[in-house]
Amino acid sequence: MRETSGRARGREGRHPQAGGGRARAGASRALGAPRAARVRAGAEGVPLQVDGRPIEAVRESWLVEDRWWTDHPLRRRYWELVSVGGRDLIVFHDLAGGGWFRQR
């Protein structure tokens, strides 16, 4: 697909931010990378509030366990939530390292 905008291109016709190009100054976070979140959870770990937003419903919850054979295993409990305002949220609790994070 051809691009018709007047943006500057990097070498070989690629945008500087495209794969293989140099990252833009200040762009230190990968797209979709988790961000720290403030979560108030109930007795069984169910999120009741995320970053000050009350939670209306839990759509789904799942456990991810990976890299158990390494020095840095990954163990997370994910929650797909709906806030009172209708916003969809995905958060996870890092069960190996602690802390809560937002995926989107």
Query: Where along the chain do its domains lie?
Result: 32-102
Residue 15 pLDDT > 50, yes or no?
no
Q: How confident is the model at residue 26 (pLDDT cuts 50, 70, 90)?
A: low
Average pLDDT over residues 19-25: 52
| Mean pLDDT of the residues in the chain | 81
Q: How confident is the model at residue 33 (pLDDT cuts 50, 70, 90)?
A: confident
Residue 32 pLDDT > 80, yes or no?
no
For 76-98, how does the pLDDT look when each residue is reduced to its tens digit (9 = 90+)? 999 999 999 999 999 999 999 89
Select from 99, 96, 56, 63 the least CA-distant residue to 79: 63
* Residue with the two structure tokens 């833009």: 24
The sheet with strand 39-41 has its strands ordered as 35-36, 100-102, 88-94, 74-83, 53-66, 47-50, 39-41
Residue 2 pLDDT > 70, yes or no?
no
Any idea which of 23-37, 51-65, 76-90 has the lowest mean pLDDT? 23-37
CA angle 90, 94, 96 (to 5 degrees): 160
Q: What residue ranges in the chain does DSSP mark as E strands?
A: 35-36, 39-41, 47-50, 53-66, 74-83, 88-94, 100-102
